[in-house]
């Protein structure tokens, strides 16, 4: 999985937003944000995903087809919602089965966006409380396996004054050495 600082230039969210020269972000830098990236070949992925689910105590999973065909009339609204900066109160694990897209995560304490390019076989683990968003690449399709600790829940808390004092957000910031 390739990562770089988002260029913040105008343009569609699904463009790479990787200004020349690229400003790459290392896996070590992502680890300081508690963002974990793995590559697992799609063919025969089930055994490795099952191992990860057991290791992290994930009991539930589902798949989502984020595409015009998969979401139908809700596509435009869903795409806008996915790109809205938000956080979750649970760890988010996504494994790319097909297609591609970008997850952007906020670097703490700089508040810069880091863009991660996802393709089939990429597994991304985002900690609870990190601000992030999703954009599809130019193919406008990504099929994801989502893992959950308990029952599937997708509650997104859009960034605002309430999220700044959310216990999960505060806990996340402390875990990366920001805040008291």
Binding residues: 86, 88, 92, 132
Which residues line the annotated binding site for Ni(2+)? Answer: 86, 88, 92, 132
SS (H, E, C) the chain: CEEEECCCCCCCCCCCCCCCCCCECCHHHHHHCCCEEEECCCCCHHHHHHHHHHHCCCCEEEEEEEEHHHHHHHHHHHHHHHHCCEECCCCEEEEEEEECEEEEEECCCCCCEEEEEECCCEEEEECCCCCEEEEECCCCEEEEEEEECCCCCCCCEECCHHHHCCHHHHHHHHHCCCCC
Which residues line the annotated binding site for Fe(2+)? Answer: 86, 88, 92, 132
């Amino acid at each position: 999985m390739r990562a770089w600082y988002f260029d913040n230039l105008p343009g569609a969210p699904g463009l790479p937003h990787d200004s020349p020269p690229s400003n790459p972000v290392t896996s070590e830098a992502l680890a300081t944000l508690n963002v974990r990236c793995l590559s697992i070949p799609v063919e025969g992925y089930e055994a490795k995903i099952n191992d990860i689910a057991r290791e992290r105590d994930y009991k539930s999973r589902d798949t989502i087809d984020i595409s015009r065909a998969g979401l139908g009339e809700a596509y435009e609204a869903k795409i806008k919602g996915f790109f809205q900066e938000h956080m979750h109160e649970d760890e988010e694990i996504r494994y790319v089965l097909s297609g591609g897209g970008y997850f952007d995560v906020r670097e703490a304490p700089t508040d810069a966006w880091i863009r991660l390019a996802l393709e089939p076989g990429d597994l991304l683990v985002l900690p609870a409380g990190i601000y992030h968003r999703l954009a599809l690449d130019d193919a406008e399709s990504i099929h994801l396996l989502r893992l959950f600790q308990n029952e599937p829940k997708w509650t997104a808390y859009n960034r605002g004054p309430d999220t700044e004092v959310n216990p999960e957000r505060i806990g996340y910031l402390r875990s990366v050495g920001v805040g008291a």
